[in-house]
Amino acid sequence: MNKLFTTLGIALLIALPFNGMASPQQDLSEFRDYYKKRFPGTPFDDFINGVYSIDAASREQWVEIEEFPPYELSLSKGEELFNKPFANGKTYGSCFENDGIGIRQNYPYFDTERGEVITLELAINECREANGEKKLKWKKGPIAHISGYMAYTSRGNTIDIKIPDDPRAVAAYERGKKHFYQKRGQLNMACADCHKFYAGSMVRADLLSPALGHLSHFPVYRSKWGGMGTTHRRYGGCNKQVRAKDYPAQSEEYRALEYFHTYMSNGLAVNGPGARK
């Protein structure tokens, strides 16, 4: 009898959070409203510019940098690599709809046949493997050049991430949401601490950017890196900064985080690649 009550109790505890769980649509609405109230002078569409959307002085410097963007060389490399035939004569375009042009806004997505989140970088490497080529390293170099070029061809397209009516998709979304809000590391900080609750505040010499619109401009050229990097490179750096466990790039954990994180920017335009500190 005690064993039965214990089993029923565990089942009830598991079920309760899901019964009262907000839908992704509710999360998105509340997320947008939070930033609109926190930064009332920032038009919704301008959040794609990150910290430069909320600080005039930083924006002036950034506008000057964008006259001769530091990612231009990366874009040239990305276009060349994207169009260079594989050994079998095919190109990356053969693996994507619309030949891979103007599709960044659809990634990441949940593949209901495979039961997992597919990011753009994952799709790029799977394209290579399907055509007999070796995988590229995940965080920087050629893969960032290629995804940066693909993002550039998608500028102005509206981010439109879907959460299918599939419990596995909802679970992936919720896993990413949990990662975003969960405290971690020796500094006991969450993604949301820096980029939601304290967005606009100073940390040493840096102004914390709002999470709304974050992934509109990835992959990104960071002055700190002296080059381009993917979303998962940035995730790893954030976890290390709070002295937390770093997950492998393209792990289920980071793909789930990217799924939630990008969904929270639905309705905004792609403007990648970007240039940031």
* pLDDT given for residue 36 in this prediction: 97
pLDDT at 22 (0 to 100): 87
Q: Which of 95, 191, 194, 238 is catalytic?
A: 238
pLDDT tens string 228-237: 999 999 999 9
Q: Is 191 a catalytic residue?
A: no
Q: Residue 7: which pLDDT band, with cuts at 50, 70 and 90?
A: very low
Cis ω for the linkage preceding 219 (within 30 of 0): yes
DSSP state of 245: P
Q: How far is CA 60 from CA 12, 56, 57, 71, 198, in A?
A: 54, 6, 5, 18, 22
Task: Look at residue 204 in the predicted model and tell me its pLDDT.
Answer: 80
When comparing pLDDT for 18 and 209, which is higher? 209
Work out the average pLDDT over 81-85.
98
Instruction: Give the tens place of pLDDT for each residue, 193-202.
Output: 999 999 999 9
Please name each of the domains of the chain with its CATH number: 23-70+164-276 (1.10.760.10), 72-152 (1.10.760.10)
Residue 13 pLDDT > 50? no
Higher pLDDT, 109 or 1: 109
Asked whether residue 106 carries a pLDDT value surpassing 60, the answer given is yes
Query: What average pLDDT does this structure show over 53-71?
Result: 92
Q: CA 276, 265, 99: angle at the middle one, nearest 5?
A: 85
- Within the chain, where are the H helices? 2-19, 24-38, 56-67, 72-83, 120-130, 142-152, 167-181, 191-192, 231-241, 252-263
Residue showing tokens 């004569």: 89
Q: According to the model, what pLDDT value does residue 15 have? A: 40
CA–CA distance, 31 with 98 (Å, rounded to integer): 32
- The model's pTM is 0.91
Of 63-67, 178-182, 216-220, the range with the lowest mean pLDDT is 63-67
Question: What pLDDT, on the 0 to 100 scale, is given for residue 20?
Answer: 54
Residue 122 confidence (pLDDT) above 80? yes
pLDDT digits (tens, 9 = 90+) for 160-186: 999 999 999 999 999 999 999 999 999
pLDDT beyond 80 at 4: no
- For the chain, percent of residues with pLDDT exceeding 70: 93
